[in-house]
Structure 1
Amino acid sequence: MREAAFVRQNKDKWTSFERALQNNVRTPPDELSALYLEVTDDLSYAQTFYPQSNTLIYLNTLASKAHQRIYKTKRESPNRIITFFTHEFPREFYSYQKQLLLAFIIFMVFAAAGSFSAATDGSFVRAVMGDAYVNMTLENIENQDPMAVYKQMGEMDMFLGITINNIRVALMAFVFGIFYGAGTVFIIMQNAVMLGSFQYFFYDQGILWESVRTIWIHGAIEISVIIVAACAGLVVGKGLLFPGTYTRLTSFVRGIKAGLKIVISTVPFFIVAGFLEGFVTRRTGMPDWLAITIISLSFGIILFYYVYYPIYLNHQNSNDQKSNNIPEAA
C-alpha cells in the first residue's frame, strides 16, 4: 500500500487519538489503551514499509506521548469487571455489529433449511435428533406431557450441565473461527438446523405453541448468545481474511483478542439461560402470560445489550467530542 493511501485510511483514527490525549478531553484509561494498541500496530507497519518517512516520525511521537499518558495515569479500578461489562465491552462491540448481523442471518437461513428438510423428509428429524430422543418425545406426547424431558434431571444438575455445555458450544464457535470463519459457520449450521427441525417436529405433532412457550423460556437467551458467540468466530475469521493495513498475524491477534472479549460477555447470559432451563422451564403449567413475559424480557435484554446500548454509547461519545469544540490536529 502506498504511504499516501495508508495515511488517508488511518488519518481520522490518529486524529481522534491525538484529540483524546489533549488535557481537556477526559477519556477512560481503558479506551486510551485500546487506541494505543491500534496506533502501535500502525507504527510497526510504518517501520516496515515507510522507514525514515514523516509518517513514521509522526506515529512514533504520538505513540510516545500516549505511552506516557496511559502508564502515568492508569489505575486498575476495584470495579474492573463491572466497567468491562457496562462500558468497555459494549463500546467496543459497536465495531462488530456487521458480524453480529451476518451471524444472525446465517443462523436463520440454516434454521429455515432445517425446518424445510424436516417437512419434506420424514426421516430427517430422526437423523438430526436421534431415534432415542424422538421416541421419548413421542411417548411424552402420548402421556399428555410433551415437555417432560425438562423434568427428568434434578434442577441443579440440569442447570450446571446445560450451562457448561452452552459455554463449550460458544467456545467452539469462537475457536473454529481460525479456519477463516468456515468452522464458525459449521457450528452455526449444526445448531440452527437442529433448532429448525426440532420446532417443525412439534408443529407436525400439533403442539407448536406448547413447545414455543416452554422451550423459548430459556432458548431466547441461549440461542441469542450462541449467535453472539458465532459473531466472535466471524471476527476472528475476518481478521485472517481481511487484514487491511496490518500484517496478517497482527490482524489475527487483534481478532482473537476482540473475539475473546465477546465470548466472555456471553458467560453471564449462559448462566442465566442455564438457570431458566434448570429451574423454570420445567414449570410447564405456568400461565401463558408469564411465559410470554419471560421470553419477551429475555429477547429485550439481549437486543438492548448487544444492539441498542453499543450504538447509544458510540453516539454519546461522538456527541461529547463535538461538544468540546476541539480544533483539528495539525
Structure 2
Amino acid sequence: MSDTPPLQLKSQKFRDTREKEWRALARQIDRAEKGQIGSFTTEELLELPVLYRATVSSLSMAQSISLDRNLITYLQALCGRAYVYMYGAHARPLQVLKDFFLRRLPQSFRALGIEMWLSFACFFLGAVGGWLMCAFDPSWYNALVGHSAQGRDTSATAEDLRKTLGGAEKEQLGTFSVYLMSNNTRVTLMAFAVGVIGGVPTAFVLLYNGMMLGAMMWLFASKGLGFDFAAWLSIHGTTEMLAIIIGGGAGFHLARRLMFPGHLTRKAALSTAGRTAGTVMLGAMLMLIIAGVIEGVGRQTITDMGLRFAFGGVMLVWWLTYYGLFGRDRKGAGDGQNP
C-alpha cells in the first residue's frame, strides 16, 4: 500500500483538475502587467472574468478543505493581481491620453506596415498616372479635376495660377482651403470605410485622388510653376497626404483580415482589425485637423518658396519619426500588436 497521506492525494487531484485555469489567468495578468492589455483579443477579454471567478472559487474551496499552505498562498497572490485589472481604479484621463499618443497610436501604425506601403504605392502611382495622362492629352485634366479646380484650369495663364499660390486673393484662398480640408477628410474616411468590402474600392479611391493631384501638378509645371506649386503644397500636403495614406492603409488592413482571417472567424478577425485600424484612423483625423490649421494660417503667411519647403519637410520628418520610433519596447521585443 502507498504511504502517501490522503491530504496530499486530495491536494494533488485538486491541482490537476484546476491548474490549467490558474495558469491561463496568470499568463493574461503577466501580459497586462507588461502593458500589453491593449493587444488582447475579444475572446481573451471575455475569458478574463471567467478565469478570475474560477480561480477565486478554487481559492475558496482550497481554504475550506484546508489544503496545503503554499497552494493557498499562490492562489491568494494570483487573485490579488487579477483583482487590480478586473476592479481596480481606472487610469486617469491624462494617463490614458499619454498612453494612446506615446504608445498605442504609433504601434498600431507600425502593425499596418504592409498595408501602409500598399496605400502609398496606389496614391503615388495615381499621381504619376494623372501627370502622364494630362501630358499626352490635356483634355484629361478637365475629366480628372473638373469643377474642383477653383480657377486652376488649362485656360488659366501663368500669372493667374501664380496668384492662387500667394497671399493675394485671400477670400479665394480661404474658400479653396475649406474645400481641400473637407475633400481630403472625405477621401480619408472613404478609403478606410470601403475596406470592409474588399481592397479594390480602397485602391480605386487612392488611385483616383492621386491622379487628381498628378493632373494639377502637371498643369502648374506646364506653366513653369512646378516648384512653386510643390512648395505651396508641401506646407500642408506632407501632413494631409500622409493622413490619406493612413486612411487607405487602415482600409486595406480591414480587407486583408476579412479575406484572410487566419485561425480566427471572419467576425473575430474583423473585430481585431477594427481596433487597430480605428486607432490609426483617430491619428489620421487629428492630422487632418492640424493640416486644416496649417492651410488656414501657415500657407497664406509663409510665401517664400524655401521656407515653404522647409516647413513641409520638417512636418514630414516629424510624422515619420513619431510613427516610426515612438512606443517601441526598450528591449526591442516588439510592439505587442496583432498582425
Indicate the TM-score class for this superposition, using the shorter chain for normalisation.
0.7 to 0.9
- 1:287 pairs, out of 276, 280, 304, with 304
Q: Measure the CA separation in 1 of the matches of 2:38 and 2:161.
A: 58
Indicate how the Cα distance of structure 1 residues 100 and 139 shifts in structure 2: closer, same or farther if over 3 A, else same: same
Matches within 5 A, 1:153-168: 153=171, 162-168=180-186
- Is residue 115–residue 197 contact of structure 1 (8 Å, CA) maintained in 2? yes
- 1:35 pairs, out of 6, 29, 40, with 40
1:89 and 2:96 aligned? no
Q: Measure the CA separation in 1 of the matches of 2:141 and 2:306.
A: 30
Q: Which stretch shows the higher mean deviation, 151-160 or 77-86?
A: 151-160
Question: What is the root-mean-square deviation of aligned Cα atoms in Å?
Answer: 3.5
Please tell me the residue identity of whatever aligns with 1:107: F
Give the count of matched residue pairs: 281
Residue matched to 1:305: 322
Q: Measure the CA separation in 1 of the matches of 2:157 and 2:206.
A: 29
Structure 1 residue 149: Cα displacement: 8.4
- Is residue 235–residue 312 contact of structure 2 (8 Å, CA) maintained in 1? yes
1:171 and 2:189 aligned? yes
Residue matched to 1:326: none
Structure 1 residue 319: Cα displacement: 8.4
Q: Measure the CA separation in 2 of the matches of 1:16 and 1:125.
A: 61
1:117 and 2:136 aligned? no
Structure 1 residue 307: Cα displacement: 2.7
Residue matched to 2:281: 263
Deviations 1:117-172 (A, max 9, x none): 11111211121112683755554623473425884537776665544443222111
- 2:270 pairs, out of 252, 258, 261, with 252
- Is residue 258–residue 269 contact of structure 2 (8 Å, CA) maintained in 1? yes
Secondary structure of the 1:206 match is: coil
Indicate how the Cα distance of structure 1 residues 144 and 113 shifts in structure 2: closer, same or farther if over 3 A, else same: closer
Structure 1 residue 195: Cα displacement: 0.9
Please tell me the residue identity of whatever aligns with 1:35: F
Please tell me the residue identity of whatever aligns with 2:138: G
Indicate how the Cα distance of structure 1 residues 81 and 229 shifts in structure 2: closer, same or farther if over 3 A, else same: same
Q: Measure the CA separation in 1 of the matches of 2:291 and 2:204.
A: 23
Deviations 1:285-305 (A, max 9, x none): x32331121011111112112
- Is residue 112–residue 196 contact of structure 1 (8 Å, CA) maintained in 2? yes
- Is residue 119–residue 249 contact of structure 2 (8 Å, CA) maintained in 1? yes
Please tell me the residue identity of whatever aligns with 2:190: M
Indicate how the Cα distance of structure 1 residues 273 and 17 shifts in structure 2: closer, same or farther if over 3 A, else same: farther
Indicate how the Cα distance of structure 1 residues 160 and 144 shifts in structure 2: closer, same or farther if over 3 A, else same: closer
Indicate how the Cα distance of structure 1 residues 41 and 99 shifts in structure 2: closer, same or farther if over 3 A, else same: farther
- Is residue 133–residue 140 contact of structure 2 (8 Å, CA) maintained in 1? yes
Structure 1 residue 81: Cα displacement: 2.4
Structure 1 residue 257: Cα displacement: 2.4
Q: Which stretch shows the higher mean deviation, 89-98 or 188-197?
A: 89-98
Q: Which stretch shows the higher mean deviation, 145-154 or 189-198?
A: 145-154
Q: Measure the CA separation in 2 of the matches of 1:263 and 1:181.
A: 17
Q: TM-score, normalised by structure 1?
A: 0.73
Q: TM-score, normalised by structure 2?
A: 0.71
Q: Which stretch shows the higher mean deviation, 220-229 or 253-262?
A: 253-262
- 1:207 pairs, out of 225, 230, 238, with 225
- Is residue 173–residue 229 contact of structure 1 (8 Å, CA) maintained in 2? yes
Structure 1 residue 22: Cα displacement: 3.6
Structure 1 residue 84: Cα displacement: 0.9
Structure 1 residue 274: Cα displacement: 0.9
Indicate how the Cα distance of structure 1 residues 130 and 144 shifts in structure 2: closer, same or farther if over 3 A, else same: closer
Residue matched to 1:108: 124
Residue matched to 1:54: none
Q: Which stretch shows the higher mean deviation, 89-98 or 215-224?
A: 89-98
Residue matched to 2:291: 273
- Is residue 140–residue 148 contact of structure 1 (8 Å, CA) maintained in 2? no
Deviations 1:270-290 (A, max 9, x none): 111111112222346x32331
Identity %: 22
Structure 1 residue 102: Cα displacement: 1.2
